[in-house]
Amino acid sequence: AFLLIPTTLSATESEPSINADRPSFSSNTHTVSPYHIQLEMGVDYAHSDDGTHSLGLPFLLARFGLTNNLEARFAVPNVNFSWTDGTRSTAAGDFAFGFKYKAAKSKWLQLGFLPVVTIPVKSDGRDEAIAVSMDAIADITITERIGLTVNVGGTIGGFGAGTDSYFDFHAALAGGMSFTDQFGGYLEVYTIIPASKDVEPYGELGLTYLLHKRLQLDMHAGLRFTGPENAYVGIGITTIL
């Protein structure tokens, strides 16, 4: 969800700026300019200490600018390929749709909200149930090129799958820096606290490069700190129409 501090070339109303909600875990408060569409996509590779390898794509998120402070968004299911010890499997992810609303803005602080509904491709268990999440977002400007983003949210799930409902909590803190008008990076820590499961803390770092006013490239890498080791890397692209 970066960059916190937009690394954009000069933009006009006819040339809207890119400020992607990838590749980081957290989201920023930026909304897509009215009447424009922003497409974000990428591919991730992950490796666990049990020997499992996985590849996921396309992580496609379509964001539609409705007003200066409101956007609609829709995510298509990912395709996830996994393999270990000669065993291979393929699984589909979930549909998701929601809105991002930029509620308040000052020179140093921006606030926003991100409600999302996730709909499974199939319903045969807890992780394949309909879920509703809400995130509160704060962007804090430290200097013209350095900023922080804080995300705090929760997910209520278990709807429509014949399973008990559940609540998961998640939070993220990220620091971003624009090295130049086109090149930026971030460092992030985030945690997911699933119901009746261990805390899942992660660390991630990433880089973005604005190749053109309407085209941004990114790369990122992350690691789970406790429990089963889970390291991942990924690359992606964002464009605005």
3-state SS track over the chain: CCCCCCCCCCCCCCCCCCCCCCCCCCCCCCCCCCCCEEEEEEEEEEEECCCCEEEEECCCEEEEECCCCEEEEEECCCEEEEEECCEEEEEECEEEEEEEEEEEECCCEEEEEEEEEEEECCCCCHHHCEEEEEEEEEEEECCCCEEEEEEEEEEEEEECCCCCCEEEEEEEEEEEEECCCCEEEEEEEEEEECCCCCCEEEEEEEEEEEEECCEEEEEEEEEECCCCCEEEEEEEEEEEC
Higher pLDDT pick, 198 / 178: 178
pLDDT score of 76 more than 70: yes
**Residue 17's pLDDT band (boundaries 50, 70, 90)?**
confident
Average pLDDT over residues 56-71: 96
Q: What is the pLDDT of residues 217-230, one digit of tens each?
A: 999 999 988 766 68
pLDDT at 14: 56
Contact 62, 238 (CB under 8 A): no
- The single-letter code of the amino acid at 137 is I
User: Can you give the pLDDT at residue 4?
Assistant: 46
Overall average pLDDT of the 187-195 stretch: 89
Provide the percentage of residues in the chain whose pLDDT is more than 90.
Answer: 65
The pLDDT of residue 3 is above 80: no
Q: Judge residue 93's burial from the number of C-beta atoms within 10 Å of its C-beta, 0-12 exposed, 13-18 middle, 19 or more buried.
A: middle
pLDDT of residue 125: 43
d(CA 160, CA 138): 32
